[in-house]
Structure 1
Amino acid sequence: MILKGFKEKSIKKQLNLILNASKENVENRKIKSMGVVLNADEISDFDALRSIAEAVNVKPNKLKIIAFSNIKHEGACACNICFNPKDFSWNGKITNPELQTFVKTDFDVLISYYAKEVLELKYITAKSKATFKVGIFQLDERLNDLIVKTDLNQITDFKNELCKYLKVLNKLDDEQ
C-alpha cells in the first residue's frame, strides 16, 4: 500500500515536470504515422479507431495502438500493446519495453482516446515524443495540442471533426 502511494506520487511528479517543461512544437509536417492511446476498460471497438487512421491515409504498418487496463489481460487485447499499472516501477518508471518503445516513437500524431482521468494514461500521453497530440476532452489541457470535445462512444463524430481540423491545419496530404 505504501509503495502504491509512492508510485502514484512519483508518476504525478514526473507528469508535472514533463507538462511544465513542454515546448511549443509547431512543426507543420504531414501525417504519415499515428499512435493511439486508449483505455480498454472504457472502449473495446479497436476497428473504429483503426478507421480514423484510414481516414487520414495512415498505412496500417504506421499505426500503433496501445490500451491500458486496470486488469491484466493475457492475449485478450486486440491492439498492439496492452499495459496496466504493473508496467510501472515503484518510482514511476516504465518497465514494459514495448511501452518504452511506444513513447520514444516520433509519431506524426498521437490520439489520446480516453475520458477517465487515469494517471498512467496521462503520463504516457505526456511522455510520448509525438509531434502533434489530439485528445477528447481532458481536465488538464496541457496534455494535447488539439482537443475534440465528443463523447467517448461517438468515434465517427470524433473522426469527422479530427479530419476537418487536420485539413485546416494543413496536416493532411493534398491527395485527400
Structure 2
Amino acid sequence: MILKGFKEKSIKKYLNKLLSEAHEYEADNKIESLGVIVNVDEIQDFNWFNELANALNIHPNKLKIIAFSTQKKETLNLWDDCYNAKDIGWKGAILNNDLKLFLDTKFDALLSYYEADVTELKLITALSKAKFKIGILQTDERLNDLIINTKLNDFNVFKNEMFKYLTILNKIKNEY
C-alpha cells in the first residue's frame, strides 16, 4: 500500500509538470479525427460517441474510443480497449503499447468524457498529442482547451453546447 501511494504521488508530480507546460491549439484546423477517453465505471453506453462522430462528419476509421476503469481487466469483457492503473507505471510511464499508440495519435480533437477525479485518467488526457481537447468540467481546468459544464448523462446538452462552441471557434462546418 505504501508503494501504491508513492507511485500515485510520482504520477501526480509528472502530471503537474505536463500541465504547467504551455499547450497551444491550432485555431485553423477543422475536426476530421476524434479520440475519446471514457471512464467505464461512470458510463456504459458507448453508442452515443459513434452518433456524435457521425454528427461531426467523422469517418468511422477516424474515431478511436478508449475506456479506463479502476477495476481489474479480467472483469471487463464488454470493451476491447480498456485500460486500468496497471497500464501506467512510475512517473507516468505508459506500459501498454496500444495505449501508447492512442496517445501518440495526433487527433484533431480529443474528448475527455469523465467526471471522476482519477489521476490516471487526467494523465492520459494530458499525454495525448491531440490538437484540441474537449472535456466536462473537472478539478483541473488545465487539461482541456474547451470545457463544457454539464452532467455526465446529459448527452444532448453536451452535444448542443459542444457544437455551438466548435462552430464559433470555426472547428466544424456550420451544418449542424
Q: How does 1:65-84 map to 2 (within 5 A)?
A: 65-74=65-74, 76-78=77-79, 81-84=81-84
> Structure 1 residues 92 and 3 mapped into 2: Cα distance closer, same or farther (>3 Å)?
farther
Distance 1:138 1:171 in 2: 23
For 2:73, give the aligned amino acid. Answer: H
SS at match of 1:14: helix
Q: CA deviation at 1:168?
A: 1.0
SS at match of 1:64: strand
Contact 1:113 1:136 in 2 (8 A): yes
SS at match of 1:67: strand
Would you say 1:89 and 2:89 are equivalent positions? yes
SS at match of 1:38: strand
Q: How does 1:41-60 map to 2 (within 5 A)?
A: 41-60=41-60
For 1:41, give the aligned amino acid. Answer: D
> Structure 1 residues 153 and 174 mapped into 2: Cα distance closer, same or farther (>3 Å)?
closer
SS at match of 1:98: helix
Q: CA deviation at 1:89?
A: 1.7
Q: CA deviation at 1:90?
A: 3.5
Q: Which moved more, 1:19-28 or 1:139-148?
A: 19-28
Contact 1:31 1:173 in 2 (8 A): no
> Structure 1 residues 152 and 36 mapped into 2: Cα distance closer, same or farther (>3 Å)?
same
Contact 2:112 2:135 in 1 (8 A): yes
Q: Please, what TM-score do these two structures have when normalized by structure 2?
A: 0.93
Structure 2: where are the runs of 5+ without partners?
A: none
SS at match of 1:156: helix
SS at match of 1:140: coil
Distance 2:12 2:35 in 1: 23
For 1:101, give the aligned amino acid. Answer: L
Moved over 4 A (4+): none
For 1:134, give the aligned amino acid. Answer: I
Aligned to 2:111: 111
Contact 2:13 2:91 in 1 (8 A): no
Distance 1:31 1:135 in 2: 15
Q: Which moved more, 1:68-77 or 1:131-140?
A: 68-77
Q: Which moved more, 1:165-174 or 1:104-113?
A: 165-174
Would you say 1:31 and 2:28 are equivalent positions? no
Give the fraction of aligned pairs with identical amino acids, expressed as a percent.
55
Distance 2:141 2:6 in 1: 25
Would you say 1:134 and 2:137 are equivalent positions? no
Distance 1:124 1:70 in 2: 14
Q: Please, what TM-score do these two structures have when normalized by structure 1?
A: 0.93
RMSD of equivalent CA atoms = 1.5
Contact 1:27 1:131 in 2 (8 A): no
